[in-house]
Amino acid sequence: MDNFDPALISVVMPCHNAAPYVDEAIESVLGQSYPQFELIVVDDGSTDGSAEILQRLAADHPERIKLVYQTRSGPFVARNAALAHANGNFVAFLDADDAWHPDALRLLHDALETDSADIAYCGWQDIGEAATDPAPKILPAIDAGEAASHFLEHGPWPVNSVLVRRPLIDELRGFSERTPTAMDYDLWLRMLARQPRLARVPDVLAFHRRHPHGNTRIPRWRQVFDAVAVRRDFARNHPEFVARIPPTRLNELIYDPLLHEAYRCHWRNDTESARRLFRRAFRKADWKASDLKHLVASLLPAPLYRNLVDTVTRRRSARIGGGVA
């Protein structure tokens, strides 16, 4: 730890096939009003021209940008690789398709130092063509002792809305790689289990891009399963944080998203995710008799389930069409 620059912020950026966005993401880092930062970009086996963009920007800003290359391993492996090359006493994360307000690092750092905190967090906003909820989001002030329980119930903040002191990340050995789509959620819960001091910046400083080439390519059932596994394991490994939650309520917090997301996938015609989620909900979630037709149908083999859903959808459409006529 003595070798880290005490005022330097290390910005960690994984990049995989982000050519349409990475230039803007990096410019939002280079334009920060906080002067002492480095940017470590890990090219995660890009094949779309991202590597050439990164090389150009690194050549233009050699004092700021450090490039690391790896074969395709995923964003969290890339973040851990970047952490191994980081020299700062503070760490911030920005994905290659996201962006920051020019004052993001300065305001987060000021809050961290003013409050002698371990983690500073700010508001964020979803942007981009696939953003379904673009309203600004600003979390309330969260008591350190209640933070883990709050996250268990409400989910995590985006990875790009947080500044963390480096020792806290090192103590936890960075990101776990066991839940591929929820490793940031896992890290924040493990951090909050240590009851760190929190500082809040009540401004929208982080912009999270939603687009067809992002996490939307990952099956929804996989994302939900991973988040459930993170919540389940946290409750098992840290019983002191869930002791005041009644067992029935705890089971709801962990498993009810299975049923909620199953219905969302069903109405979006994502039959594979719906089937998998209804199946898991049948065994784990607190369901009602009205859910039973979906739960039982999900036990069918995938082709039969899809045929059943298609048949029901066609009949419903025919009834609606007949009624309108």
The pTM score is 0.86
Tokens of 242: 């869930």
Residue 325 has a pLDDT of: 38
Q: Measure Cα distances from 311 to 170, 294, 300, 306 in Å.
A: 54, 14, 15, 9
pLDDT band at 306 (very low <50, low <70, confident <90, very high): confident
**Which of 232-241, 268-277, 316-325 is least confident?**
316-325
pLDDT band at 214 (very low <50, low <70, confident <90, very high): low
Tokens of 5: 């620059």
Between CA 256 and CA 231 the distance in angstroms is 11
For 15-57, how does the pLDDT look when each residue is reduced to its tens digit (9 = 90+)?
Answer: 999 999 999 999 999 999 999 999 999 999 999 999 999 999 9
pLDDT band at 319 (very low <50, low <70, confident <90, very high): low
Fold exhibited by the domain 5-216: Spore Coat Polysaccharide Biosynthesis Protein SpsA; Chain A (3.90.550)
Mean pLDDT of the chain: 90
H-state helical runs in 238-301: 239-242, 247-267, 271-284, 292-297
For 76-133, how does the pLDDT look when each residue is reduced to its tens digit (9 = 90+)?
Answer: 999 999 999 999 999 999 999 999 999 999 999 999 999 999 999 999 998 877 667 7
Nearest residue to 96 via CA among 220, 12, 170, 37 = 12
Burial 13-51, CB ≥16 within 10 A → b, else e: bbbbbbbbbbbebbebbeebebeebbbbbbbbbbeeebb
For 47-83, how does the pLDDT look when each residue is reduced to its tens digit (9 = 90+)?
Answer: 999 999 999 999 999 999 999 999 999 989 999 999 9
pLDDT at 1 over 60: no
pLDDT band at 321 (very low <50, low <70, confident <90, very high): low
The four Cα atoms 159, 164, 168, 173 give a dihedral, to 10 degrees, of: 40
Provide mean pLDDT across the span 221-237: 94
Residue 320 has a pLDDT of: 58
Provide mean pLDDT across the span 280-309: 89
Provide mean pLDDT across the span 271-287: 93
Sign of torsion over alpha carbons 100, 106, 111, 117? positive
Residue 314 has a pLDDT of: 75
Provide mean pLDDT across the span 296-322: 77
Residue 89 has a pLDDT of: 96
* Residues in CB range of 89: below 8 A, 6 or more apart: 4, 5, 6, 7, 8, 165, 166
Is the CB of residue 137 less than 8 Å from the CB of residue 125? yes
Between CA 189 and CA 241 the distance in angstroms is 11
Is the CB of residue 5 less than 8 Å from the CB of residue 87? yes
pLDDT at 276 over 50: yes
- The better pLDDT of the pair 149, 242 is held by 242
pLDDT band at 304 (very low <50, low <70, confident <90, very high): confident
Residue limits of CATH 3.90.550.10 in the chain = 5-216
pLDDT band at 216 (very low <50, low <70, confident <90, very high): low
Residue 179 has a pLDDT of: 81
Is the CB of residue 22 less than 8 Å from the CB of residue 68? no
| Other CB atoms within 10 A of residue 85 CB | 14
For 198-212, how does the pLDDT look when each residue is reduced to its tens digit (9 = 90+)?
Answer: 999 999 999 999 876
Between CA 286 and CA 276 the distance in angstroms is 16
DSSP-assigned letter for residue 144: G
- The better pLDDT of the pair 277, 144 is held by 277
Residue 130 has a pLDDT of: 66
Residue 58 has a pLDDT of: 97
pLDDT at 242 over 90: no
Provide the phi-psi class of 227: left if phi over 0, else alpha when psi is between -120 and 50, else beta: alpha
